Chain A
């Protein structure tokens, strides 16, 4: 004895090859699965940001702390030894004083305005008269 289902399916079991062919044809027409899109390549800017800043964050923090420490130490030391440099300088020796004085006088002499020149004298007439002005020579030739 068979159940109604067994009886029904057994009656049509001969159609399996044709059903397999139909199934294979439909499967062959299936669109190929969509390939997964590759992840977008990171830009140069983001790569640099990641590798230089984000990855080296502890190093950058340590470097910043070191700079702050140096600044604080420098400020503290300058407040302790902050006297003017002039006050600590020793007075110049007499030789240097005399050289500086000479140099100062030379400087004043060179930079002071020049004295006005004496007024120029009229040149004396030449006895031969060979070097008369041109218009006088013309007068002489016409009268001859």
Chain B
């Protein structure tokens, strides 16, 4: 049992029933996006691998708490996000991880967000790739998390709000900030 593409239905029900093949298919589908998310968020290979492993184990252990099988992906990323937060606190980044709302975040003009191309559709030229990752690394972790979730699985903003545990308005604001940081890089090449 494999899930090769995102369009194929996920065997979530079979996994809930304890089918190892179903779990294998689910983990195979999400292992690389989860790792990329954790790695870009925590900037450490081994910690990112630990996060993936802990996410898998927690998913198996707590799958009964999954309410909507169609949202298995966001549920899984929610676990991963919590693990990233815990690892980030252990590494002494507590001050940065706990910054949930910047004072002026909610006062931003959210109308501007819809005018920007969606991060999932951003096209990066080969010569821009290094700068792309530099800019990504330069974002605050809270902003980077929103942008990464949009990158790796094209989660809707409502699900990103659930994954990161912040209000929808905050997610929009963070995405707006992230777009501004990338505007100069991607502006001329973006569709």
Contact = CB atoms under 8 A, between A and B. Distances in A.
Interface residues of A, number: 26
Given A9-B36, A12-B32, A4 B124 contact: yes
18 contacts: A1-B124, A2-B123, A2-B129, A3-B123, A4-B120, A4-B122, A8-B148, A9-B36, A12-B35, A12-B39, A15-B39, A15-B45, A23-B24, A26-B27, A26-B53, A26-B57, A27-B20, A33-B18
B123 A1 contact: yes
Contacts of B60: 26, 30
A2 B189 CA distance: 11
Nearest to B21: A27
B154 interface: yes
Interface in A80-129: none
Contacts of B133: 11
A29 B20 CA distance: 10
A31 interface: yes
A15 B39 CA distance: 11
Main secondary structure of the interface of A (DSSP, over half): helix
Contacts of B112: none
B36 A22 contact: no
A34 B24 contact: no
Interface of A: 1-5, 7-9, 11-13, 15-16, 18-20, 22-23, 25-27, 29-31, 33-34
Contacts of A3: 120-124
A1 B126 CA distance: 6
Sorting the interface of chain B by its residue count into under 10, 10 to 19, 20 to 34 or 35 or more gives 35 or more
A34 B17 CA distance: 9
Main secondary structure of the interface of B (DSSP, over half): helix
9 nearest A-B residue pairs (beta carbon): A19-B31, A26-B56, A1-B123, A4-B122, A23-B27, A33-B18, A4-B151, A12-B36, A22-B53
B119 interface: yes
B77 interface: no
A77 B92 CA distance: 110
B72 interface: no
A30 B123 contact: no
A4 to B, nearest CB: 5
Given A15-B45, A15-B49, A5 B152 contact: yes
Interface string B122-162: 11111001001100000000000000100110100000000
Given A3-B120, A27-B20, A18 B49 contact: yes
A15 B121 CA distance: 25
Interface in B14-31: 17-20, 23-24, 27-28, 31
A23 B34 CA distance: 12
Given A8-B152, A27-B20, A30-B23, A19 B35 contact: yes
B20 A30 contact: yes
B40 interface: yes
A22 B151 contact: no
